[in-house]
Amino acid sequence: MAEALTGEAILAATEEVLRRYGPAKATVVDVAKALGVSHGSVYRHFPTKAALREAVTRRWLDAIHVEMESVLDAGASAADNLRAWLQHLFDRKRLSHVDEPELFATFKVLVSESRIIPEYHLGHLVGQIARIISAGVETREFVTDDIQRTAQAVWDATQMFHHPAHAQEWGNPHIQDEFDAVVSLVVAGLRYNRIPSATGDA
Amino acid sequence: MAEALTGEAILAATEEVLRRYGPAKATVVDVAKALGVSHGSVYRHFPTKAALREAVTRRWLDAIHVEMESVLDAGASAADNLRAWLQHLFDRKRLSHVDEPELFATFKVLVSESRIIPEYHLGHLVGQIARIISAGVETREFVTDDIQRTAQAVWDATQMFHHPAHAQEWGNPHIQDEFDAVVSLVVAGLRYNRIPSATGDA
DNA sequence: GGACTGACAGATATTGAAATCTGTCAGCTG
DNA sequence: CAGCTGACAGATTTCAATATCTGTCAGTCC
C-alpha cells in the first residue's frame, strides 16, 4: 500500500527512532514499526543494522560539511577566515551539546561505532583547514612548507573544542576565553611557523 | 598481631588490589583480606571507599609531578625546555598506556571519579608550563602579556597528547610526527604571540 | 516476478532473586 | 581504653532464566 519503501524514507524513520529512543534502545523492529512494514523489508535496503546507522550518521555529517564550506572564505584575511571557521565549528558543536544533549550523545555513539566514519569526517574538515592555510600561504600571511601537515596540527591543537570527549568542558564559563587563547597561539604560530622536522629555529 | 595497621600499608595494599582486580572489581573487603584484617579496620583510617581510592590516586599523581619537575629546566632555551617537558609527559603516558593498558585504564577511571583530583593534577602541570614560559619571557625568547593564560593555552593545544580520552590514538605510527607538528606550531606561536583578547596582529 | 511478509535460529538484552559489598557500631581483647 | 572484630541494614552487583532482537529465507501477494 501507499508509496514504495525507499532508502530515504527508511533513513528518516531511523533518525526519528534514534531521536526518540536513543542509540541503545533503537531497534530495526522499531524502524519497521514506524514505517508500517515488517523488519525484513528494511533488510532489503540495508544489509545490516550497522550499515543503516552508518548511513544516517553520514547524512548528518554531510550537513555539517556543507555548512562549514560556507564559512571557508567569509573574512578579509586568512587569519580571520581560520578563526571564524574554527569558531563556527565550535559554536555549532557546543550549541548542539547544550541544547540537545541526548541527540548529541546519540550521534557521538553513532560516530564512534564505525572506523570509516570518523576518518571521513576528519579528513573532510582537515581538508577545509588546509584550504584556508593554503590561501594564507599564497598571500604570504602564513608560512609553512607542508600545508597538509600544518592543517592536521591546527586540527590537533584545537581538539578540545571539537572532540566530543571534551564536551563536558564546553559548559565552563571560561571556555570561550580558552578558545580565543588557543586560536591566537595557533594563528601566531602559522605566521612564523617553520616545521621542517624537529628543532624550530627563529 | 604483627605491626600496627598504618594508612600507608592500606594504600599499598589498595594499589596492589587495584592492579590485580581492576577498578570495577576491587572491594574494601579485598583490601582487608590482603592485609589480614577485617574490613571494619580499613574504615578506621579512611572514611569511605571513595576517599581511599582518591588517596591512592593522589599518591600516584604526585609521583608524576615530582618526575616532571626534574625535566623543567634541562635544556638550553625555553623552547627546548618546553619541548622536552611536553615530550617527557607524552612518552610517560604513552608508555604507560602501551605497556600496562589495564593499569592505565585503572588510573584513568580513578582520576575521573573525583572532581578535585583532575583539578589538582591539571593545576600542577599547567603551573609547571607557566614556569617554563615565564623563564622564556624573561630572556625575551617568548612574548606574552598573560603567562597563566598562555600556559593554559599550551596545555589545551596539546590535550591530544596527554588527555586519556585520546589514548587510543597514541598507538598510531604517525603520532610522534603529529606531536612534533603541534609543538612546533605552539612554540612558533609563543615567540610572536600577542593575545590581548581577540585579533592577533604581527 | 519483484517487493514484501512472517517464522525461524542464534545472538543479545532484560529481569528479578540471590549473593556480595559498603558503612556502622556495640562489644571484645590485649 | 585504643584498636580491632564481626554481625547487621541498606545499597549494589551477579547470574541465570526469559524475552527480545538480528539477519535469513521460503513462501505470499499484487
SS3 of B132-186: the string is HHHHHHHCCCCCCCCHHHHHHHHHHHCHHHCCHHHHHHHHCCCHHHHHHHHHHHH
Residue A9 approaches strand C within 7 Å at CB: no
The bases of strand C with some atom under 7 A from any protein CB are 3-7, 14, 20-26
* Dist. CA A183–CA A154, nearest whole Å: 9
* Dist. CA A144–CA B189, nearest whole Å: 13
Amino acid at residue number B131: R
Mean pLDDT of B43-53: 97
Interface test with B, best of A159, A170, A199 (most B CBs within 10 A): A159
pLDDT at B198: 43
* Dist. CA B170–CA B176, nearest whole Å: 9
Closest CA to B169 of B182, B188, B184, B186: B182
pLDDT at B111: 97
| Shortest CA distance from A198: residue in chain B | B180
3-class SS of residue A86:
helix
The residue to which cell 559554536 is assigned? A91
Q: Which CATH architecture has domain A54-192?
A: Orthogonal Bundle (1.10)
pLDDT at A202: 39
Provide the residue count of chain B: 202
Give the percent of chain A with pLDDT over 90. Answer: 91
pLDDT at B194: 59
Residue B173 approaches strand C within 7 Å at CB: no
Contact by Cβ (8 Å): A35, A13: yes
Residue B27 approaches strand C within 7 Å at CB: yes
Signed CA dihedral, A126, A131, A136, A138: sign only: positive
Residue A38 approaches strand C within 7 Å at CB: yes
- In DSSP notation, A100-153 reads -HHHHHHHHHHHHH-SHHHHHHHHHHHHHHHHHHHHHHHTTSS--S-HHHHHHH
Q: Which three cell numbers stand for residue A71?
A: 564559512
pLDDT in tens, B153-166: 999 999 999 999 99
pLDDT at A75: 85
CA dist A136 → A121, A152, B183 (Å): 23, 16, 21
Between these two residues, B62 and A2, which has the higher pLDDT value? B62
Residue A2 contacts B where some CB pair is shorter than 8 Å: no
Mean pLDDT of A168-180: 97
- Split at pLDDT 50, 70, 90, the class of A51 is very high
> A199 pLDDT exceeds 60?
no
pLDDT in tens, B93-111: 999 999 999 999 999 999 9
Contact by Cβ (8 Å): A128, A69: yes
| Shortest CA distance from B179: residue in chain A | A153
> B168 pLDDT exceeds 70?
yes
Residue spans per domain, chain B: 7-45, 56-192
| Shortest CA distance from B174: residue in chain A | A149
Angstrom distance, A50 CA to C19 C1':
37
Q: How far does the CA of residue A153 sit from the closest CA of chain B (Å)? A: 5
* Residue A176 phi, psi dihedral angles, 5° rounding: -65, -35
The CATH number, out of the four listed (1.25.40.10, 1.10.357.10, 3.40.50.970, 1.10.3720.10), of the domain defined by the range B56-192? 1.10.357.10
pLDDT at A192: 81
Q: What is the mean pLDDT of chain B?
A: 93
- Split at pLDDT 50, 70, 90, the class of B10 is very high
Residue B44 contacts A where some CB pair is shorter than 8 Å: no
Q: Which three cell numbers stand for residue B14?
A: 589498595
pLDDT in tens, A89-133: 999 999 999 999 999 999 999 999 999 999 999 999 999 999 999
> A201 pLDDT exceeds 50?
no
Angstrom distance, B137 CA to D17 C1':
69
Residue A64 contacts B where some CB pair is shorter than 8 Å: no
Signed CA dihedral, B110, B116, B117, B122: sign only: positive
Helices B175-192, A147-157: crossing angle, 10 deg rounding: 80
How many Cα atoms occupy the beta-carbon half-sphere of B125 within 13 Å?
26
Contact by Cβ (8 Å): B62, B83: no
Amino acid at residue number A144: T
Amino acid at residue number A79: A
Give the percent of chain A with pLDDT over 70. Answer: 94
Find out if CATH 1.10.10.60 is the number for domain A7-45. Answer: yes
The residue to which cell 555548512 is assigned? A67
How many Cα atoms occupy the beta-carbon half-sphere of B111 within 13 Å?
18
pLDDT at B200: 39
Q: Which three cell numbers stand for residue B45?
A: 583510617
B185 contacts in chain A (CB < 8 Å): 150, 153-154, 157, 186, 189-190, 193, 195
